[in-house]
Chain A
Amino acid sequence: MSFWEYANPVKFLKLSGALLPYLSILAAITIIAGIIWGFFFTPDDYKQGATVKILYVHVPSAFVAINAWFMMLVASIIWLVRRHHVSALAAKAAAPIGIAMTIIGLVTGALWGQPMWGTWWEWDPKLTSFLILFLFYLGYIILWAAVEDPDTAADLTSVLCIVGSVFAVLSRYATNFWNQGLHQDASLSIDKEEHVADVFYYPLIVVMAGFVLLFVALVLLNTRSEIMKRRAGAIMARSRI
């Protein structure tokens, strides 16, 4: 059995329909468990005080916002190379989730920054590239809506996605490229010495897993909607209903 079989809309609908209930329940359980653990059962940070609890919503949302763009990038490249409609629709379906996560990242970042940095916003490389990523999400969604022919829209948005990837990379690695700005280095790292203390790390990982599951579930749901919408349009055009 090949992965490419699921580029067939009928097979995709069948598989996604079977997976969705389980993914949704798992996402809900994981997010609620992680948030309860982080909010109620972890101590305040010695420097940040209670604002450290914002970490449990800010980091997962920013993580999903950036990686949603990478998922869209892969789907867009598959569309450009192999012309699988499901991949173009999956990229389109991911954009509203990605922009929602970017909004959460920006708002919670500002709410953390005000008491810790003394400012709601700073034109720091990481924050600025994340704001530009938000604008790319907005442009991507508007471009899909503005172009009537779906294949042309998929082509144009795929190119936009490739260009915007620069800012997705910068949002993630800006602190590594420029040793300036207010934003600290990544909260999580493969090198255990660099990331947050274990007491914050474990609930954070649980919430992040929940956000990823939620993202996957919503992308599947939205991709199903896009496939059904296109099928309805095709039937109408054929039958002139």
Chain B
Amino acid sequence: MPDLGDYAFHVLASYGATSLVILLVIIWSYLKHERVRKTLLSIEEKVNEK
């Protein structure tokens, strides 16, 4: 771990905030994609059953 001296809070908070926002946007995108994909599949199945 490099010595960040007086700036430890600023540097670590920057990396923490970046990681958090990127993780949130990845998880949100993935969950949305899965939800829509499953909805489309179930609708297509219902249509095929008719």
B24 to A, closest residue via Cβ? A100
Binding site for A on B (CB under 8 A): 1-8, 10-11, 13-15, 17-18, 21-22, 24-26, 28-30, 32-33, 36-37, 39-40, 43-44, 46-47, 50
C-alpha gap A38/B15 in the complex (Å): 12
Give 7 closest A-B pairs by Cβ, nearest first.
A57-B18, A50-B4, A100-B25, A108-B14, A232-B40, A50-B7, A54-B14
Nearest CB in chain A: distance from B43 CB, A: 5
B34 to A, closest residue via Cβ? A225
13 chain-A/chain-B pairs, Cβ below 8 angstroms: A50-B2, A50-B11, A54-B11, A57-B15, A100-B22, A103-B21, A104-B17, A108-B18, A221-B30, A221-B33, A228-B37, A235-B43, A235-B44
A100-B24, A104-B18, A228-B36 known; A115-B43 Cβ under 8 A = no
Name the B residues within 8 Å of A222 (CB-CB): 29, 32-33
A53 CB within 8 Å of chain B: yes
Whether A112 pairs with B26 at a CB distance below 8 angstroms is: no
C-alpha gap A48/B14 in the complex (Å): 15
A218 CB within 8 Å of chain B: yes
A219 to B, closest residue via Cβ? B29
A57-B15, A115-B6 known; A232-B25 Cβ under 8 A = no
A50-B2, A96-B25, A100-B22 known; A241-B7 Cβ under 8 A = no
Nearest CB in chain A: distance from B28 CB, A: 7
A42 to B, closest residue via Cβ? B2
**A105-148 toward B: CB 8 Å interface, digit per residue (1/0)?**
00110011011000000000000000000000000000000000
Nearest CB in chain B: distance from A17 CB, A: 11
Name the A residues within 8 Å of B24 (CB-CB): 100
C-alpha gap A6/B21 in the complex (Å): 30
Name the A residues within 8 Å of B50 (CB-CB): 239
C-alpha gap A225/B33 in the complex (Å): 5
C-alpha gap A112/B14 in the complex (Å): 8
Whether A218 pairs with B26 at a CB distance below 8 angstroms is: yes
Whether B14 pairs with A57 at a CB distance below 8 angstroms is: yes
